[in-house]
Structure 1
Amino acid sequence: MEDILHMLPDSLRAKLKRLPPQELERVEEIRLRVARPIEYVGGGTSRFVSEKGGGTEQAEAALMFTKEEGIQLLSRLSHHSLYMMEEEMRRGYITIQGGHRVGISGKVVLEDGRVKLIRDVTSFNIRVARERKGAADKVLPLLTEGKQLKNTLIISPPQCGKTTLLRDLARQISEGTQEVNARKVSIVDERSEIAGCVGGIPQKDVGPRTDVLDACPKAEGMMMMIRSMSPDVLITDEIGRAEDGYALEEAIHAGITVIASVHGRSLKDIMRRPTLSRVLQTGVFQCYLVLSRKPRIGAIAGVYDEHFAECRR
């Protein structure tokens, strides 16, 4: 959180510091919209920063995010050079020191029918990246059999801790544990969320034997890592396109263990999607892990084998 506060304009930092420290530490997202209330999300609830200090559910009693603060924030995010950040602007998010990600929206500029950049930025979504070492402690035994890792698909709704889990799985597999010997791990991190790279350097601990390909499309990135880094384990986030499935199959046929994630609420949910259903029917995954927010973020809602039968835990 200190990395985020340090980046903010002074006036905006002062507004956020009106929150009690214990509440500020629970924040998962800070959502800033020009001329609208400052919103923060954490613990499954959304509130505004109150003029009186603390949080409020009443928009009319909240502090506003000003146009001047938006201009200052964008200048700080881009290190005073929007040209240098053109690729990040085109993708719609910027990764900052500490691995935190700032999503942006506003007026899109097109070139040859494709997004060139976003200008007149009016909304910022600051996603707080927190490391939870040990997040994979209870999960890793479910993904192994005789010290061998299973090809695994993690199914999770948004903000249920799947990225945190993938990060800690990478760290533990890279270091080695009682469940699995140390392995070479490759991460294809298209959205810069797992390792949180800045300048190509992971800001989060993903382990001593881990290589990261940052901001690269998943399908292309997986093929690059297979050819260039000879990984034992390949980890990637949020698969969904047909080409992602083909790349996963190539990795598995090359003898590489794959751990991936997908947005969804259940196994049945993702089986309804044509592109994912085809991959699942090939039997490439040996384990399906479903996450939930209840009774807590990252709770295991179900574990299934390659035949889609629920496993005992």
Structure 2
Amino acid sequence: MASVRLVKGEHTFPDPGQAPARVTDPLASLKELLPPAITAALENLPGGVRASLEEIRLRRERPLQVRWSGSEGWVTAGGLLTPKPDLAYRVTAGDLGRTIEALTRSSLYALEEELRSGYITVSGGHRVGLVGEAVVSRGEVRTLKNFAGLNLRLARAVPGCARSLITCLLEGGRPLHTLLLSPPRCGKTTILRDIIRLFSSGVPELQFTGVNVGVVDERSEIAGCWLGVPQLDVGPRTDVLDRCPRAAGMLMLLRAMGPEVIATDEIGRPEELAALQDILNAGVTVLASVHAGSLEELKCRPGWGELLDQGFWQRLVLLGRTLGPGTIEAVFTGDNRVLRQGPWRGEGRL
């Protein structure tokens, strides 16, 4: 990887006392969280890297690492990317402590429930994974202490990335039951979010006016809610149930909000599969995703073979990385016939 001299740009930062406006600069809402030395280095990243940042990793007394679309590297104190970790800026205990204090607003107790899950969602919809010493009581993790590092995963919408796919997911002016299958790091949540946006907003050129969508966002990854308000564009007709278990949330939305589509991410627990049956009988369309590298792999998982054989899903979309993150490898009908063979990608870079 060649070293690149970084160029500083102009940025507008939100008032830290208010929920942030949607911004195109992925670092804009993070300035108040990160130490000055790390902020300065990250602000100087090359434009293409900065615009496609996915992760910022801070490990105590170890080099600063970033990941962006299709690559990763180490960041020096002077603002260079380097392939050598020993040349990178070394994150101090003070850097990590300051960041965690800003993340928790000096109150670890107030965020105990989130820490039990190993992550915190912050303004802008970004998600911060944390590692350290687990505090265990009666066999259950209660919280974390003595933090050793964090991974800041940047929430980033890519409007249009599902536009070329949407024609396969509509029939008779109505969305079809759709399941996205994807290995890790293939853009699954980003594509799911854009399908939700399109179902909610409508697609005029397809004479589709849009429908009410209910989203169960158990891990705050789809809509990136901050204080209950989506920070990422999920469409004007979308209602989000944030940080709610999927099975309970799907039934809550069904009973309370009258959605025409219910969407959620990474489905798979037995109680979630059971909830799908209730939604099917209620005439509501389901849009969901699951970790799987193929239909054959998914069929081998408990509960999934029977669900697939029932023909519940009308469309199965296989994602991959053939053309990079966000590649649509194939679209199948409910009886496993190939409807459209890939690979192809939508608009925008994931």
Shorter chain as denominator, the TM-score bin is over 0.9
Aligned to 2:8: none
Q: Which residue of 2 aligns with 1:25?
A: 51
The percentage of aligned residue pairs carrying the same residue is: 42
1:204 to 2:227 alignment: no
2:196 aligned partner, one-letter code: A
In structure 2, the partner of 1:274 is 302
Correspondent of 1:105 among 117, 121, 131: 131
2:11 match: none
Count the aligned residue pairs: 313
- The Cα offsets for residues 85-124 of structure 1, whole Å up to 9 and x where unpaired, read as 1121112111111111111111111233222111112121
Moved over 6 A (4+): none
Partner of 2:170: 144
In 2, Cα distance between the equivalents of 1:29 and 1:231? 34
Rounded Cα–Cα distance in structure 2 between residues aligned with 1:118 and 1:183? 42
Q: Which residue of 1 aligns with 2:249?
A: 221
Normalising by structure 2, we get a TM-score of 0.85
Q: Does 1:41 align with 2:64?
A: no
Q: Which amino acid aligns with 1:163?
A: T
Quote how far apart the aligned CAs of 1:270 are.
Answer: 1.4
Match 1:243 to one of 271, 281, 288:
271
Structure 1 gap ranges (5+): none
**1:54 matched residue in structure 2:** 80
Give yes or no for contact 1:235–1:259 (8 Å, CA) kept in 2.
yes
Q: Decide whether the 8 Å contact of 2:189 with 2:222 is kept in 1.
A: yes
8 Å Cα contact 2:220-2:243 kept in structure 1: yes
- Structure 1 Cα separation of the partners of residues 97 and 78 of structure 2: 25
Whole-angstrom distance in 2 between the partners of 1:284 and 1:211: 24
Residue 63 (structure 1) aligns with: 89
Tell me, yes or no, if structure 1 residue 174 matches structure 2 residue 200. Answer: yes
The answer to whether the Cα contact below 8 Å between 1:242 and 1:276 also exists between their aligned partners in 2 is no
Give the one of 96, 108, 118 matched to 2:122.
96
2:304 counterpart letter in structure 1: L
2:293 maps to a residue whose letter is R
| TM-score, with structure 1 as normaliser | 0.95
Q: 1:68-83 residue pairs with structure 2 within 5 A?
A: 68-83=94-109
SS in 1 for 2:322: coil
Moved more, 22-31 or 124-133: 22-31
Q: Following the alignment from structure 1 to structure 2, what is the Cα–Cα distance between the partners of residues 182 and 249?
A: 24
The alpha carbon displacement at 1:36 in A equals 1.2
> Are 1:289 and 2:317 an aligned pair?
yes
Letter in 1 for 2:60: V
In the alignment, does 2:27 pair up with 1:9? no
Equivalent position amino acid for 1:150 in 2: L
- How far off its partner does 1:51 sit? 4.4
Structure 1, residues 128-184: CA drift from partner, whole Å, max 9, x if none? 111211222111111111212110100112222221112122122112223433211
Match in the other structure for 1:261: 289
3-state SS of paired residue (2:253): helix
Write the deviation string for residues 161-208 of structure 1: whole angstroms up to 9, x where unpaired.
221112122122112223433211100001100000111111111111
What is the DSSP-based 3-state SS (H/G/I as helix, E as strand, rest coil) of the residue aligned with 2:143?
A: strand
Q: Which residue does 1:133 correspond to in 2?
A: 159
The 2-side partners of 1:299 and 1:207 are apart by 23
1:184 to 208, 212, 217: 212
> Cα 1:275–1:44, aligned 2, differ >3 Å: closer, same or farther?
farther
Q: CA RMSD in A?
A: 1.6
Q: Which residue of 1 aligns with 2:337?
A: 309
| Equivalent position SS for 1:77 | helix
Task: Indicate conservation of the 8 Å contact 2:253/2:259, yes or no.
Answer: yes
**Unpaired runs of 5+ in structure 2?**
1-25, 342-350
In terms of mean alpha carbon deviation, does 12-21 or 195-204 score higher? 12-21
